[in-house]
Chains A and B, each alone.
Chain A
């Protein structure tokens, strides 16, 4: 196989920081090349250099693409050569149709007038290539994230792609959608399309990649060929140490029941006759970590949010008991007073005020805790924030830092701090490690264990089964709005959970 792309001793410095230090990356024609590394290791910077976001001249080193030296002045240049990046945040226009999105900026037109018949024909061909069975006129926001991801790939195919770069394509996807996407990558490979896959999910990477390049702290650590790929090896290279235990040890010692939910039902907020949560009953004990497994759309987030101050759904019925007494959870304030806390799966959109400082975000859910007669005591606020900074090990120069400048793991710690400051008895954590790198994940797991040890009940919703299996004392399995099974840590494994989901 010939070499398609060669990046040689790329060095990129920002004022005060060396983001990339002599990085080498060689991608051969027709392979799937994975790029892994912790957040901040330099993956995105490297891809920005490659695509011309950082133009030639702003970095040191050499890029050779298809045998020629490439000097891209901008994205337009690199796209012209067939290098196309699909970013983690999808760049689709939600209110336009699939066809309009596929050819946005690249319209099938003559003299500025769009040839719709041709557009639709080509759209159908492209959709068939990525295995999507949707009409070209479907509005993009009516499709799920998984399908939108496929549309992004189709969009790349519409531009005669030679090198497809996918940045965390499965981060927002459910297990089966992820599988489909990876299958598609393999199929594209068979058709001769080369791709670079950036991912945190090591099982996926080891499944499809021909070579894996590991970045750490802005340098290339290793390029691992297919034959030598194991997850342990990748992790060792990524974090620079052996991680014998991916989940911290904990003495499991659940106490009495704190949270009990009885006959919980909820309906869709817009479609009144669609029942989203069906007759859910569950408990969580003091010092216990309880998992809720299920596919995306199974109603896990909806269950949590409907419990937490009826933040989701309508016509909600059922009973919530805390420490054996029924409590009113009809508003967020009442739920918080009752001792519930909900850490959302989407921390940027639902958990944080990004443009405000850390200490501001930590106090937000319990302003009364830092105020006297409605007047905020700034010193107290800062003490509280400093306390959590130390306790949670939030890495930041100061608590006055805006949270938008923090990494995903540190942002998650800020959200956790915010809820801990409300002194909850029960914490519901929705996808607590989504979009967080391996090292920070380990820290979050440690924090969860500590919360349980302090005598709280932790309810953990996650799409990553290994994480549920590694952390939980008990796992409920959810499917189509109902709990379809309950497994203890001892009896749970991936096959059991999947079979419970499939058989209902």
Chain B
């Protein structure tokens, strides 16, 4: 959370945004504790066992990865309903290439990412240059790519995959500096990440102070950072005592940092927010709104392809039903994370927290054996509550 400066407006407004972000973080922690207690009492197992934490990451990686792209799409004032189908289709393509055609994994991954980009471009073209509403274009895409998945797989599951492809989702970073158990590499990397987070946050604080910007109270800063760092170390310890860092977690973490940097510190990121904030003003300020809109959809397609491969590798087979409803999880994560429906606002950190809230609830409710019927109801209500909280906050300020 090294980004308190980003896009905030100082004074009260900045405190409000902090309140919101911290609020969602608190909600996430509260939900985790809730399951920790309830799972212990009713099932007699540890919700935060090493295995379940690993599972949490493996299960939710695809949501987070796609939510990063979806945030950009939503910030630009659009929506992408096709990501579930695109993930399924690209997963199917990777299965056909790997299993039916025998391509090696190093050739399959870039090829499928390019295909994802082409799919994004095919949709983005109509949205950006023909001004066809993204809802309609991607609704069409949702149907088209679901159909193409069925056609490509002939209605069958295709699998299993060779080991090398499965590593994409079930692999772990080998322990290069220690004995393997506990996995010292995992511990060291997470300690490094925690230190880096605090350092960057502290530096931003110093810089803000030098410029006389409004700051959150120092106590709040430390409490939040210690909670985050403590959580990271706890997770690191648990992962280390199990099988180490999942590959997927590393991919996810690297992408999250990259996208956070992109949205908050680069001119291109800034321009995407301007497009969503006021399209016409952005255009008259010399921003190539069409090209940027197009590129956000290309980016979305690439990330959907990556997620598609991860999901396929995890299931160890491409299935026609893969990715059904993913788009809703992803979109929900972005809105729970605080993005605005009308575009122009939303942050990567929020989206990651939002995705974890959804993910922890999915996982916890499954462990408790809550039926899929109730799960949907509860998830729906959480989405609604998060957005109501947001609107209420805004109307107060």
- Could you tell me which A residues sit within 8 Å of B by CB distance? 308-309, 311, 331-333, 335-336, 342, 344, 349-357, 360, 364-365, 367-368, 371, 374-376, 378-379, 382, 397-402, 418
Contact = CB atoms under 8 A, between A and B. Distances in A.
Interface string B272-296: 0110011011111111100000000
Q: In the A-B complex, list the 7 residue pairs whose CB atoms are closest, starting with the nearest.
A: A400-B10, A353-B277, A367-B267, A365-B285, A332-B286, A357-B9, A400-B9
Interface string B5-38: 1011111011000000000000000000000000
Contacts of B277: 353-356
A342 B284 contact: yes
B13 A402 contact: yes
B98 interface: no
A367 B10 contact: no
Contacts of A376: 265-267, 270
B264 to A, nearest CB: 8
B389 to A, nearest CB: 19
22 contacts: A332-B287, A342-B284, A349-B280, A350-B278, A351-B281, A351-B284, A355-B277, A356-B7, A356-B9, A357-B8, A364-B281, A374-B267, A378-B5, A379-B211, A398-B10, A398-B213, A400-B13, A400-B213, A400-B214, A401-B10, A402-B9, A418-B285
Contacts of A342: 284
Nearest to B288: A333
A374 B284 CA distance: 20
B344 interface: yes
B348 to A, nearest CB: 16
Interface in B193-207: 207
A418 B271 CA distance: 15
Given A350-B280, A353-B278, A382-B211, A364 B285 contact: yes
Given A357-B10, A378-B5, A397-B10, 17 more contacts: A332-B284, A342-B284, A349-B281, A350-B280, A350-B281, A352-B281, A353-B278, A353-B344, A367-B270, A367-B271, A374-B267, A376-B265, A376-B270, A378-B207, A401-B9, A401-B10, A402-B13
A194 B214 CA distance: 50
A355 B207 contact: no
Residue picked from A364, A368, A371, A398, most chain B C-beta under 10 Å: A364
Contacts of A332: 283-287
Contacts of A368: 267
Contacts of B9: 356-357, 400-402
Contacts of A336: 286
Nearest to A358: B9
A311 B13 contact: no
A397 B11 contact: yes
B55 interface: no
A374 B268 contact: yes
A448 B198 CA distance: 48
Nearest to B285: A365
Contacts of B5: 378
A377 to B, nearest CB: 9
B345 interface: yes
Contacts, number: 105
A408 to B, nearest CB: 16
Nearest to A334: B286
B10 A311 contact: no
B14 A311 contact: no
Contacts of B270: 360, 364, 367, 376
Interface residues of B, number: 34
Contacts of B282: 353, 364
Contact of A400 (B8, B265, B287, B344): B8
B283 A311 contact: yes
Residue picked from A355, A360, A371, most chain B C-beta under 10 Å: A355
A398 B214 CA distance: 10
A184 to B, nearest CB: 33
A413 to B, nearest CB: 16
Given A364-B285, A374-B266, A382-B211, A356 B280 contact: no
Contacts of B278: 349-350, 352-354
B11 A355 contact: no
Contacts of A351: 281, 284
A308 B283 CA distance: 11
Nearest to A376: B265
A312 B50 CA distance: 61
Contacts of A354: 277-278
Contacts of A353: 273-274, 277-278, 281-282, 344
Contacts of B285: 332, 364-365, 418
Given A354-B278, A401-B9, A365 B286 contact: yes
A329 to B, nearest CB: 12
Nearest to B264: A376
Residue picked from B273, B277, B278, most chain A C-beta under 10 Å: B278
A382 B9 CA distance: 12
Interface in B118-158: none
Nearest to B266: A374
Given A344-B284, A355-B277, A398 B11 contact: yes
A355 B344 contact: yes
Residue picked from B14, B207, B267, most chain A C-beta under 10 Å: B267
B369 to A, nearest CB: 44
B166 to A, nearest CB: 37
A378 B214 CA distance: 15
Nearest to B5: A378
Nearest to A401: B9
A26 to B, nearest CB: 36
B397 to A, nearest CB: 10
Given A309-B286, A351-B281, A400-B8, A356 B266 contact: no
Contacts of B287: 332, 364
B254 to A, nearest CB: 18
B11 A400 contact: yes
Contacts of B286: 309, 331-333, 335-336, 365
Nearest to B269: A376
B259 to A, nearest CB: 14
Contacts of B212: 398
Contacts of A311: 283-284
Contact of A355 (B266, B280, B284, B345): B345
Contacts of B281: 349-353, 364
Nearest to A400: B10
